[in-house]
Chains A and B, each alone.
Chain A
Amino acid sequence: MLGLATISCAKPAQTPRETVTIRIGVPTPASRPQLGLSNSIDNLTVESLLGIGWDGRPIEELVSEWDWLPGRRGFRLRLYPNIKFHDGTPLDAALARDILLGKLAKPSPMTVGLGSVAGIDVEDNRTFVLKLSRPEAFLPADLANVTLYHPTIAYLGTGPFRRLTAPPPSSEIEEEVTLGSFDDYYRGRPQIDVVEMKRYMEQRTAWAELMRGNIDALHEVTPSSLDFVEAQSSVKTFPFSRPYYIQLLFNMRHPALKQAVVRQALSQGVDRQALVDLAFNGRGVPAEGPLWPKHWAYSTARKTFNYNPEAATLRLDAAGYKVVKRPGAMPSRFRFTCLTVAKDPRYERIASLLQKYFQEIHVDMDVVALSMNDLVARLEKGDYDATLAERTSGRSLAWTYLAYHSSKVSNGYAAADAVLDRLRRATDDEETRAGVSDLQNILYDDPPAVFLVWPIVVRALSTRFVADIEPGHDVMTNVWQWRSAPRVNHP
């Protein structure tokens, strides 16, 4: 990580002022620790053409205006003026086109409809059009998942902060990084000069560092320590609902779990609210499905699973699953193994609770904790019965497509393919609403997982800094607008 050339950028004349440095502690996401700090770094250094708002509709990012061509056979985008990469290279329509064409040649697995892009025409210095072979409702969401890097220097972006050193080789996980403010950022120079980020394997470790004053901001506060952090006058907390949910995802290849009625029974056998209270100290919302509840098309008139172990038992009985004694194991209707990430107290607690609930309806869930590498390997091979993990719903429907379309997943679930394809082809809001409603019903009738919780995430920031953010939104999305708090002179 050290010893690489420092990037030099042309800086305009600045009024000399005290360097403002903020240190952010980033607990590694339990689901993908191998990512290290890469996501957090990308959030500050690179940008997409579009973003997705809290209601699931596209919002500005590099692009300030957009519209569909008739019949949704094209998507016109207009860039903001004066966008530059961190080395000063201007980003215009032509360069954006070239970068996109490169992406299209190797589409990311995180995209759905980029394959429908037949070509890109540049209309002027800032405007270009994506020509589509067919309507792609998920195109804006895909464009939100496509980050624009410098065409030749892979780690340079257009974001408000820039790397001061090149990233390590991909085989290494970046533990710490220092970012500097980008003076030519098209939306205005950040008021924070330096951002230091450090990765922590566990949230509790990062919390301890916050207490010691070794970091100024904490990416996520553990539920068990939240009341202590909130009581600190030197720290301000920012709770918000993140588009991530925790689920017990089933592999349809399991003989019992492939039956929808079994999965329905398991969904009914879990007291989600109690799980929120016991595992998240009440900081969460019971999950009814994988769709982002704040999505503009989300239907509240949907069928939901209430905690009803008796009904669950009846379902299992009706499905023919009787309680059978098994040597060395609890008497049960059937048994399955749940994989989860090791050494994460939160998942351990959730797993224990699920075991308890399933035990009540005589389903034996064996929990196996694995390192993330081993877990990912088994998931990719489909070598699992169920997995307990956190999953992003995204704020758009594209993520739901990615999570549950059979072309994208390895668990053999295909019940939602038709409706997901319909949503992908929707050309107006009415079609989308109808598709979402149908999807919700399908996810109830044939649930691919037991959807558990939408955790409320709490970020923490030292009161030495001010972050203006609408309540309920993610304060980490506008780090470039943070500033030092005014100093109070005490007599």
Chain B
Amino acid sequence: MTRITSRFVLLIASAAIAPLMLYGAVSVAHLGTGTEQSVREGNLRVAEQVGEQIKQYIVHNQRVLRSIGLELRAANLELWQQTRILKDYAIDFPELREISVFGPGGRLVATSAVSGTSLTVPDAANVGSDGMSVAPLSLDRDGLPTTTLAVRIPHGDQSSGWVVGELALEELWRMVDRVKIGQEGHALLLAENQRLIAHGDADQKHYIASSGQPGAPRLPEQDFAAALLADKSRNQTHYVDEGGGDMLAVAARVPALPWVVVVEQPTDEAFAVAATLRRQLLVAITLALLGTVVLGSLWSRSFISRIFALKRATRAIAEGRLDERVAIGGRDEIHELGDAFNSMADRLVELQDDVRKQERQAMFGKIAAGLVHDLSHPIQNIYNSCKLIQKMFDDLEYRDTFKRTVDREMVIVKRVLEDLRNIARPIPLERFPIEIDRSIGEVAESMQQLAETAGLTLRVEAGARAAYIEADLFALGRVYRNLIINAIQATAPGGDIVIATAVEGQRVRISVADTGCGIPPDKLSTIFDDFVTTKRRGLGLGLAISKKIVEQLGGQIGVTSEVGKGTTVTLDFPRTQAPRIALVAG
């Protein structure tokens, strides 16, 4: 049986909890991945913007050099003027440590350096079609990375000269340092050979100074940059950095330069928002689930409790406590059901009273009919005899007949009244060990004539060995006679009645089987009830009294029957020891 509580649990689970959990799982998963992807894309955009800024930084400085070149190209500037111009630019543009101008053939024309320049004209291989050059990264005399920018100065038909500027590393570092993502995210700039140019983490700048030195450690950022240069789609990764932190890293190439910008951020910080949102969503869903469970429990409890109340009341009604009523609160169908139940119970009581009246009436009628049937004949016989005795009082033979008739009919009357009395109270029994086969044999012998008259065969099948039970011989005999008479009355001529005994362990079984008309199944369960009979007339007390006797003797009585085939009544008694001296049945 599936309980209503379980149904409600299933209902809430299937209608609310399961969808909520499914929604929650999907949302958390998508939120996490979606937010993390947003973070990656956001950081990648930052890296691209930084790359663009660095490119603009280079372009800006190239433009400065170009403007220097244009300014110097103006007619007939003297050396001191050219030098002054270069020095002024070096002062005004701290991004350039030193600016030098070279004429055709690489001849030094002027320089901002007081102590003389270490710059040279660029390698032809590094010069672009626009006449600009960014030299490959190299190490300066301090072991720090440096590069130079160069811009060609066309001189009409003559070979061009060059304006060359050395980039101030410190200014580039400051630019990279300004790139901040969250609290701990920063950027790095790497050259084409993965040499570190700038590092946005103040405590890790020493890797710049170490980069290129013998024994310098290889950083995961360098491998990442190399991978990006090889395959531009590999622009996102995770790694553990030199400080031991798990980092989310994205990279972008600096446009038009063989440099890479890496933006890295501790994974914890990068995905903190996602983690927070996930936590918040989990908390919200958990609270929603708890709320659903609590509200569902409260509501279902209020619903189910009313159902249970109805169930208890119904059960009480079924148990016969017709005074049971329910108080169902609310204003819904359950409340109406409660009212209907109460109405039904009231009606049941009325009906029960009616039925009882009718049953009483029916029973009285039946008893009266039975009594009339059983008593009318002997009473009529006594009446007739009393009428005749008035006339034939002097006839001694008839007075003797009258006495026998009255005695005989009074026995019948007494027996009927005795039966009535025995139904109401326990039958007094005297118990003695009785041999079953012998007691049955004696009764069967006394009923043989009756059986033969009805055209039936009555036989006894005794057990293999003698068996004793504690019983009242007279009462037991009455049971036998009642069963045999019923069998005779139910069996058509030519049928058989078999009385069998059997010993099974400590039980003795006696069966009375006939080949009669059988008992309908609907009557079978009430066959041993008082005033129940399959006959047209009679009180219907025979089997009821037999059952009472058997049960008082510690036994059981049962019946099996099949309509048209016959009936078998079985008596089951506890076995007892044989007496020292066997009593004679009779």
Contact = CB atoms under 8 A, between A and B. Distances in A.
Interface of A: 202, 204-205, 207-209, 211-213, 224-225, 227-228, 231-234, 278, 328-330, 340, 342-345, 347-349, 351-353, 355-356, 359, 364, 367, 369
Does more than half of chain B's interface fall in helix, strand or loop, or is it mixed? helix
A356 B88 contact: yes
A348 B114 contact: yes
A412 to B, nearest CB: 26
Nearest to A214: B209
Nearest to B113: A348
B90 interface: yes
Contacts of B208: 211
Contacts of B173: 228
B142 A204 contact: yes
B115 A343 contact: yes
A352 B90 CA distance: 9
Given A330-B84, A345-B97, A349-B91, A228 B113 contact: no
A152 B203 CA distance: 48
Contacts of A209: 209
Contacts of A329: 78, 80
Does more than half of chain A's interface fall in helix, strand or loop, or is it mixed? helix
Contact of A351 (B84, B114, B170): B114
Interface in B184-240: 202-203, 205-206, 208-210, 213
B73 interface: no
Contacts of B88: 356
Contact of A212 (B81, B97, B168, B213): B213
Contact of B114 (A224, A228, A232, A347): A347
B97 A228 contact: no
A234 B80 contact: no
B554 interface: no
Given A212-B143, A369-B114, 20 more contacts: A202-B141, A205-B141, A205-B143, A208-B144, A211-B208, A212-B206, A212-B210, A212-B213, A213-B206, A231-B202, A233-B202, A330-B81, A349-B90, A349-B91, A352-B91, A352-B112, A355-B87, A356-B84, A359-B84, A367-B114
Interface in B97-125: 97, 112-116
B546 to A, nearest CB: 92
A234 B113 CA distance: 34
Nearest first, the 6 A-B pairs at minimum CB distance are A231-B202, A211-B209, A342-B115, A348-B114, A369-B115, A211-B206
Contacts of B362: none
B174 interface: yes
B79 interface: yes
A405 B208 CA distance: 49
A278 B112 CA distance: 15
B111 to A, nearest CB: 11
A348 B115 contact: yes
A202 B209 contact: no
Contacts of A234: 203
A329 B81 CA distance: 8
A352 B80 CA distance: 12
A345 B168 CA distance: 12
A208 B209 contact: yes
Contacts of B213: 212
14 contacts: A204-B142, A211-B205, A211-B206, A211-B209, A212-B210, A212-B213, A225-B170, A231-B202, A328-B78, A328-B80, A342-B116, A352-B87, A353-B91, A359-B84
B234 to A, nearest CB: 30
Contacts of A208: 142-144, 209
Contacts of A349: 90-91
A356 B142 contact: no
B137 to A, nearest CB: 16
Nearest to A201: B141
A227 B174 CA distance: 9
Interface string B130-168: 000000000001111000000000000000000000001
A355 B84 contact: yes
Contacts of B79: 328
Most buried by B among A208, A234, A342, A344: A208
Nearest to A351: B114
A353 B112 CA distance: 11
Interface in B280-301: none
B205 A232 contact: yes
B91 A356 contact: yes
B186 to A, nearest CB: 11
Interface in B479-498: none
Contacts of B81: 330
Contacts of B97: 345
A48 B97 CA distance: 43
B179 to A, nearest CB: 14
